[in-house]
Structure 1
Amino acid sequence: MAAQFGRRLRRGATSGAIVAAAVAALAASQGPGALPPPTDNLSGDSAIGAGDATTPPGGGDGGSATGDSPYYTDLPPLNTPNRPGVAPTAPTVPIVTGPAEAGIPATVLAAYRRAEASVRASDPSCNLPWQLLAGIGKVESGQARGGRVDGNGTTLSPILGPALDGNGFALIQDTDRGAFDGDTTHDRAVGPMQFIPSTWAVWGQDANGDGKKDPNNIYDAAQAAGMYLCAGGRNLAIKADLDRAILSYNRSTEYLTTVLTWFEYYGRGTHTVPDGTGQLPVDRSDRFGPDRPLRPTAPTSPSPSTTPTPDRPSPKPTNPAPTTPPKPTEPTKPPTTEPTRPPVGTPVEIPPTLRVARLKPGTAALTAVTESTFAQAATVTAVDAAGRPVAGVSVRFELPATTDARFPAGATTVTVTSDARGVAKAPALRAGEKAEPFTIRASVPGRSLTAELKATVEVRKADALARVGDAALTATTGGDYAEVTVEGRLDGALAPGVTVTAVVTDSADSAQQSADGPSFGKDAAGNSIRTKVLKTDANGRLSIKGLVAGEKAGSYVLLLTAPGGGTAKLTLTVTEPATTPPASPDPTTDPAPTASESPSAPASPSGSASASPSASTSPTA
């Protein structure tokens, strides 16, 4: 009963100071005293970021990863894993020894830390800490049954929850035909992170690159759990998002409290133990009543105390009375120990978000040319009131609406966490097509702390423009010119992406647009277009097409100018079309008189022919 009473007291404390400490530890990418994250998956065979790391559609809300299966309810000891004499805020001191509860099997710990690194690479704004995965792994499976895994991270035997048959649990009919849980009637939670088959089918990962998505593999399961917790755009440095993420794993407020307690405990320090030697939990949420098993050490102490009682007949009158009173004073020790904990935990109960007093803008010049990546990243340093760096602070970088520069994936806002030097570094920023200065705003969510960083996007330049080829550019009035190629260079190197303005002028000495010269066709209103903006391609070249001669013959100039001073003047000649002279008449023929003669003239040269009609018609002939 005393053990159960003490456990209730500790659970009640969790909802206050311990939960606050958990949120504080969350904001940092590494808990104080923790070892640095590995660069690979140790026992796995794939580099960080490899394998299937695609976030499925939807999020982790609305159901639970485990189907609300039972979980272990053991809580960490009251004493913290911090080394004596070392403040919990000293992140550089590794924990090599400590309470058994603080030990995490080597392969299991490697999987948690690898999952953190992988998820942070693909979703840095989630701020996933590996200590959260460790807290869930402890509650779900006792860290894969104390680390009983092989060298590749697969459990030596399957870890299965009870059948979710509706008898004291949720009712979930079989969804995988027993492929993962071996049960063709109902689903069961599977593996060290206890995914139900339907959830694993959506979120399963191949984190160790062995070609399988195995819920019984700690690498695969840890990465899937990390991505599931980050679903829906959650930022786990924010308490509300943290609670939502844990409750999406198991919809129980006691589960939330238990996980946060272990999360806070691991955040203060851990140490590695060999695989298979981790401490196994005892109490489970599906065991209730007076017959609920206690820790193995609990039954052994009452039995010796009952045995000596009958063995002392003579000292009974004097000894029983003094011996009995000291035993009731024994329970007064927990209250004595309890007050000593707050002073130890006080430093970590103040979240980094509250300790930061100022954001110092980085001094690097943020400049880029259009459509290119900024050479320097936007950074700020989080410092406290004494000017010391504060790690684990969530910093939001926000772009103004006026710029078309963007963070990766087209984002205009990103949230990152300050490192051990207090530096929060935004992802690479890419400039758009607009050449203009703008201001990046950095802030701490939930606080009024801000900093501004000036950024400038400059136009691409070319200090030289030259035509490729030297054929004369000639066309008859109304005719088309051949295509012209021009090359831009800056400091002798090809200049891609440079905006070049082309204007048809009347002479080499004029920069004014011609009224009669060649054009680039007509606009919608029927007006000739004699000014056009072009851009060099990736090879620093631009092609001038569609140039048409005007109706007025003469010599004109195509003036090309680029930012940076590059110019070129191309002569355009317009000629009249060739004319064909009329054909000369033949002197030996006179078709005109022949055509004008009367048809009756040659018939009678004597002139008497005019009388023959009447003679032929005379009635007396």
Structure 2
Amino acid sequence: MAAHIGRRLRKGAASTALAAAAVAALAASQAPGVTIDDQGRQTTGAQATPEADSTAADGGDGTATGNGGYYTDLPPLNSPTASPGPTAGPTPGGPVGAAEAGIPATVLDAYKKAAAELRQSKPGCNLPWQLLAAIGQVESGQARGGDVDANGTTYSKILGPLLDGNGFANIKDTDHGAYDGDATYDRAVGPMQFIPSTWAWAGRDGNGDGVKDPNNVYDAALAAGHYLCRSDRDLSVQADMNEAILGYNASQDYLNTVLSWYEYYLKGTHSVPDGTGTVPRHRSDSGANHDPKPGSTENSGTHKPGRPDKPGRPQKPGGPTTSPSDPSTPGKPSSKPPTASDTVDHLADAATGTLSARTGDTFDRKIALTAVTKAGKAVPKVRVRFTIEAGTDATFTGGETVATVLTDASGKATAPALVAGQKTGDFKVRALLVGRTMATEYTATVTERQADTLARTSDTALTCTPGGEFADQVELKATYKNAVADGVAATATLVKSADDPTENDKGPYFKDAQGKTVRTLTGLRTDAKGLLKLPKMYADDATGTFLLRITTAGGATLTVELNVAQASPSPSPSSSDSPSPSPSA
């Protein structure tokens, strides 16, 4: 994150030296760089952090927000108290107290609904809704105090500062202005402040209306939850929680601020009517070109005094004039030096090869490419985002469908290994140079697991009497090119004859879960040892020889004979075998 500019926060004055010392000690214990404003609220300092600065040069796409600005106000030093009552109105900049713990009803519902969904889809993440509330408070003041409609959509857009490299990351437009209204540079958008390029893959439909809208608090909260839970994180582990928060905005001050609100909300919160929440006052990007004040219908913000509308185009009385550094003048170079991503001419494949795997397997080859200048030189330290397009259940290692990779010293970026799902066919992986519209696509193929040989594991004859059940179950072993064929799909059918593969209407049968007669079993699959054991079979009143045919993906077929016959009668004893009568007395 680029250094925050022009941040000046007011320090509050305590009525006594003792009170001032106590407040200062407690504030320092909560987070580094904490000060107290004139209303008793806490605010953090304005220092930039090394980890933030490291992302600015290559587009800052390593975070959800692009490392934009945020509210630095901290919760009051006293713990939350009971709700001030339903008649409490909005208190932007007002006195501290229970109002600080109040979260607008719709916004609070969105956080809790998102956390509940994550408990189902990613139970190992252990996402607390209070963490979403803490981030929502720091990013947008709970959607500007709950300035949302009944569906959770903000009445006007909440936009972060212009990410044009002036005090922030330099992220050129990635959405043609669709989300942020700016076709030159990106801005963070919505209650959870996603930059458009991150929302493009992280966006979710949290309210079920079929639209992924970053300006809707249900959609944004669910997207934030999934974003925090990436990489198999367990947020009940503090190190994982810290990593997740820094992944949202790479600033130590930001981490401290979010954790302060998280701890505060853990002590208790209450619901307040939409539009009546307390709105923070202090921002890390104070004076920057950020979102409008609550109630404004404008979404573009205002420039800093004396700041040009576009880089290299100064303003003069009477309107803008062209200068030698004006980038819009043909043949005139820009006054701003190009970033590393600006120098990339194309993305060249780096011997990726054929991408093919069987269902459930990890692909043996990885997607690799090189960022190259027009002169053919490699470009290191630029970000390439790999995205698995929709329509497949394949993922990268770890279960993610998006991975951002930094090119190495040779300009090479290698995506994590692909893992095939159970859906067969072709799918696309798109590689995009972050901060640019430059992209290339790769095609990967998932094939069905196959077997070319099937054999019974026993040669015991399969016999049964009419109306009875077969004593032995059919067990098979599948192989492919003499190796175990595990996970192979199979179908078992009791056929009419060797030449007629249609299902028989009499003779042996299986039973379904309700005990009904079935003579075709689908969805069968061999186990890790290539074995397949069929359910128990039964016979009706028909006698004779019947056929069971098992087929698998790959063409392996086995036909098994089943015999149904009346039991042979037991021989009756002969007269010669009868004992001689005993002699008479």
Return the TM-score normalized by structure 1: 0.41
Q: Whose helix proportion is higher, 1 or 2?
A: 1
Return the TM-score normalized by structure 2: 0.43
